[in-house]
Amino acid sequence: MSARHRWLSVAAVIAMLVPGVLAGCGRENEVHPAALVAQALPPTIADPPARVELAHYQMRNPHFEVQSHGSTVLRIWSDDHGWNGHRIDLYYAPAALVIAYHGDYTLKANTNLQRIASVPIRKNQTWFAAWNVGSYKLPDAFYVLAKTDVGQASIEKVVWQQGHYVEGGTDSPVQ
């Protein structure tokens, strides 16, 4: 085989391999449907996955807390007096839907969110919800999105730590 033919053979092999190697580049913000299906909650503890309308840009919104004693009931609340509106909807967001971006959590897409609670906002602009998951084993890490009926939204990471769930990470507006 001549040098030219060897060079063309090597070039052809490289040309076939490069697209496979580069296929993952720049795709970290894509949502993978199979991952979302695997992380969906059963209908006994959450509404079916749905699209949730969110403002594209959010100011920094109030913080909220998530905590459980064991793994059966998660208490979700905010004592911050900055929530506006009359109701707040809480949504489970699978880890595959969320990325950390410059210290804030960002949704890759506003689809496949499952409502887990809807509660009134008190006159002092605080709220409380209890989410009973029964014997269902939640993932060790997931996110909760809080959205008011006037469009205010915030997202928190929830992690399993020392025998119970707690909110962990940074409080974040939804981008």
Most confidently predicted of 1-10, 19-28, 88-97: 88-97
Tell me if 1 is assigned to some domain: no
Q: What is the mean pLDDT of residues 170-174?
A: 50
> Domain residues for 119?
34-173
Tell me if 2 is assigned to some domain: no
Domain count, the chain: 1
Tell me if 47 is assigned to some domain: yes
pLDDT in tens, 101-144: 777 888 899 999 999 999 999 999 999 999 999 999 999 999 99
Tell me if 12 is assigned to some domain: no
pLDDT value at 172 more than 70: no
Mean pLDDT computed over every residue of the chain:
81
Tell me if 22 is assigned to some domain: no
159 vs 149: CA distance, rounded Å? 27
CATH code, domain with 40: 2.60.40
Is the entire prediction scored with pTM above 0.95?
no
The answer to whether residues 153 and 89 touch, using CB atoms and an 8 Å cutoff, is: no
Tell me if 154 is assigned to some domain: yes
83 vs 63: CA distance, rounded Å? 9
pLDDT in tens, 151-164: 999 999 999 998 99
The answer to whether residues 149 and 87 touch, using CB atoms and an 8 Å cutoff, is: yes
